[in-house]
Amino acid sequence: MRIYFVIMMACCPVLLFGQATLNVLDLHYDYSIPPKGKTIEAKADVENFNFHILTGGISFETVAKPAAGLEKKKISLDYNDGQFTVTIGGQVYDPQLPDWQLIPVVKFVNSPYQVAFSSLGDTVGNNQARLLYHPAFRNTLLGLRIFEADVLNIPGVLWDLPRDNNKQYLLAQSEGNYIPQKDSVLNLKLYDELCGEGRPFSSFVITDKKADIIFDVQNGKLLFEGHPYYLFTKNKINRKEIKELQKRIEQYYRDIEENAKIFLGDSYTSDLNPRENMAALSKQLEQKESKDKIKFNPFPYQRLKADIAELDSLQTKSLKELSMAFKILDGFTASFNKNWEMLKQYNPVVYPTLENVSRWSAFFRYVKQTNPDNWEIFLRKVSDKRPTDAPTVKTPTSFEIDYIRIFTDKVKKQEIF
């Protein structure tokens, strides 16, 4: 059996293996992609247009603030024999944070990167997965929970939880034997806001930037206020001007290629196609110029230089110059996130977990800043640990909607989607 598996892997290097399902979504894990191609190491920049089109996803970057009266109290962390404790002003607290959340979050905070998840992978050549995770969250149950929060635009799925190949829910010990139940009223409310005709947004990310995450102690417990939120954005494009710009770019490429063929003669090959290998073409042109001192065909060469310079200038144009407008929808963001408690009710596993990741990340950053010596000691105690209180998970590298299952369920009137 082992030999057969090795042969299959050799013959089908990009074969996708079904790992789980989330309602009518098939979740896939591609074993052929190396670990680096399944991870993302990036800093959050949610106010930047390029971040939204190249990274997006989920990021946590806030540093928590102490409640009034705790500002000057020393805070330290400890982890002994599987027990996590927090000491504030000499008082020890047991937050009951399970290892499957604690350990990945500590590793996440200790890295220089704030992006937890992105669904904007899937590069050309299949060298990268579509779904990318911070190294601390890849192949963890926590990573699976984070991934699910990103499918907000499919509210008919978001109420459910992923199942393994045996149709069993993937749950940690601390999550008990929870069985999801669809609330049709909440589902309809979400659908109306997110998918209705008046939908005002183009995309969204989950962030805690500018969120006031405050920690306090009351009645012997460590408590938090504040939570992450969905940040909605709108992209506006002047399609007529974009089409004109595309025509101009194509014409530059044609002119560059035509003049390169004249200038380089027999030295020009298809490998120097400016659309695919401008760097190699530019290098060849420089070598030709240096060697021949432009003894012939000076006009094509000068035209080449001008066209390449003009093409390069397009790369530096602002969004406004490219007829694109990027806007953060502060009003809709604030309005929608008044539903945070409703979202927690809609999925009592995913959203409280997401809240935990944001709050504890913020708290750990505060301790890391205010008591760096203790942080280093605590980190050494935690960093080599592996959670034993959650199932082993392969975080999906891609997913697809099973339309046959949707049709079948509608025929059966189960209406799960």
Mean pLDDT of 183-195: 87
**How long a stretch of residues is the chain?**
417
Beta-bridged to residue 217, according to DSSP, are 222
Q: What angle do CA 225, 378, 365 make, to 5 degrees?
A: 35
In eight-state DSSP terms, residue 175 is G
Residue type, 126: N
Say how many C-beta atoms besides its own lie within 10 A of residue 335's C-beta.
13
| pLDDT tens digits, 146-175 | 999 999 988 889 999 999 988 899 999 999
Angle between helices 99-110 and 372-382 (to 10 degrees): 130
Closest among 346, 357, 344, 366 to 140, alpha carbons compared: 357
Residue type, 176: G
Q: Are 85 and 77 in contact (CB under 8 A)?
A: yes
* Average pLDDT of the chain to the nearest whole number: 84
Closest among 267, 262, 250, 261 to 310, alpha carbons compared: 250
Residue percentage of the chain with pLDDT more than 90 = 57
**Can you read off the two tokens belonging to residue 65?**
């603030």
Which pLDDT belongs to residue 154?
A: 87
For 177-258, strand residue ranges (E) read: 203-207, 214-218, 221-225, 229-237
C-alpha distances out from residue 70 to 76, 109, 365, Å: 13, 22, 16
> Taking the CA atoms of the chain, what radius of gyration do you get in angstroms?
26
Closest among 297, 315, 304 to 274, alpha carbons compared: 304
For 23-129, strand residue ranges (E) read: 25-30, 58-59, 65-66, 75-80, 83-88, 91-93, 115-118
The rounded distance, in Å, linking the Cα atoms of 328 and 232 is 6
For 77-100, the DSSP string reads EEEETTEEEEEETTEEE-----HH
Q: Which of 13-22, 130-139, 219-228, 359-368 has the lowest mean pLDDT?
A: 13-22
Which pLDDT belongs to residue 2?
A: 35
Q: Which residues, other chains included, contact 22 with Cβ-Cβ below 8 Å and sequence gap of 6+?
A: 148, 151, 157, 160, 161, 162, 163, 399
Residue 360 has pLDDT above 50, yes or no: yes
Residue percentage of the chain with pLDDT more than 70 = 80
Q: Which residues, other chains included, contact 334 with Cβ-Cβ below 8 Å and sequence gap of 6+?
A: none
The rounded distance, in Å, linking the Cα atoms of 91 and 88 is 5
Q: Where are the domains of the chain?
A: 16-238+324-411, 239-314
| pLDDT tens digits, 297-331 | 555 666 666 767 766 665 555 555 555 678 899 99
C-alpha distances out from residue 77 to 87, 112, 206, 290, Å: 6, 20, 28, 64
Mean pLDDT of 27-46: 93
The rounded distance, in Å, linking the Cα atoms of 80 and 92 is 13
Phi then psi for 20, rounded to 5 degrees? -170, 175
Which pLDDT belongs to residue 340?
A: 96
Mean pLDDT of 347-366: 98
Residue 265 has pLDDT above 90, yes or no: no
